[in-house]
Amino acid sequence: MIIKDKILSKYTSEEIEKRLGIKKYNFYKNSFRGTLNYLAELFDIDYLDYTFNDFLIDYPRYQAYKEADTIFNLLKKGYTYRSFALKYNVVAMSHVQKQLKTGFIYNTSSIPWELFEFINLKYDFNKFRRIEYYKNHIEIYDDKEVLEEFREHFNLREKVYFEKYKNSWHLATKGFLADYIKYINKKLQ
């Protein structure tokens, strides 16, 4: 395992034994297959320079998951699905788990805010002419073609409309994607 090799290269044997305790014997076996969340509780994964690609090699079952990078971010902070759900009182964690495997449903409201810090949507939300933030939704203003591409990219139900009072095309949306864009905006301020 790559993570095991990185732990062995970054930590002394005394540090490893101190952190692992009695489980040190399992760690040194060739058959060691420790989970990332368990190792993250004992070792600083960022210090190890353990990457997402390393994760996919060590844990190949996650290669089939559409949101594997979110799972990686969650596990490297020491969470399991269950521990995350318990800590943040997430009732619909099974629904979240399904979306991590099959891909996010961007109109849904089942993704908890607490998960946003682990999500990294690879999209430049700053490219729009203007985004207006409201309590329950957001409105994105730009050219019709840009908004249609955005709508199709995230498979949104809402349509692109011309706002005559603002003399511009816009897309109003709510749910996970709107909340995530609000989160990103708040984080940048």
pLDDT in tens, 61-102: 999 999 999 999 999 999 999 999 999 988 888 889 999 999
| Percent of the chain's residues with pLDDT above 90 | 73
Helix (H, G, I), strand (E, B) or coil at 131: strand
Residues with Cβ within 8 Å of 179's Cβ and at least 6 positions away in sequence, in order, are 109, 111, 113, 116
Burial of residue 134 (number of CB atoms within 10 Å: 0-12, 13-18, 19+): exposed
pLDDT digits (tens, 9 = 90+) for 14-34: 998 899 887 776 777 777 888
Q: pTM for this one?
A: 0.87
**Rounded Cα distance, 43 and 185, in Å:** 32
DSSP assignment letter at 12: -
Question: Can you give 61-83 as a three-state secondary structure string?
Answer: HHHHCCCHHHHHHHHCCCCCHHH
Mean pLDDT confidence for 33-61: 94
Predicted confidence at residue 30, as pLDDT, reads: 74
Residues 49, 5 contacting (CB under 8 angstroms): no
**Rounded Cα distance, 119 and 86, in Å:** 19
Helix (H, G, I), strand (E, B) or coil at 155: coil
Taking the CB of residue 5, how many other CB atoms lie within 10 A of it? Answer: 12
**pLDDT of 52 strictly over 90:** yes
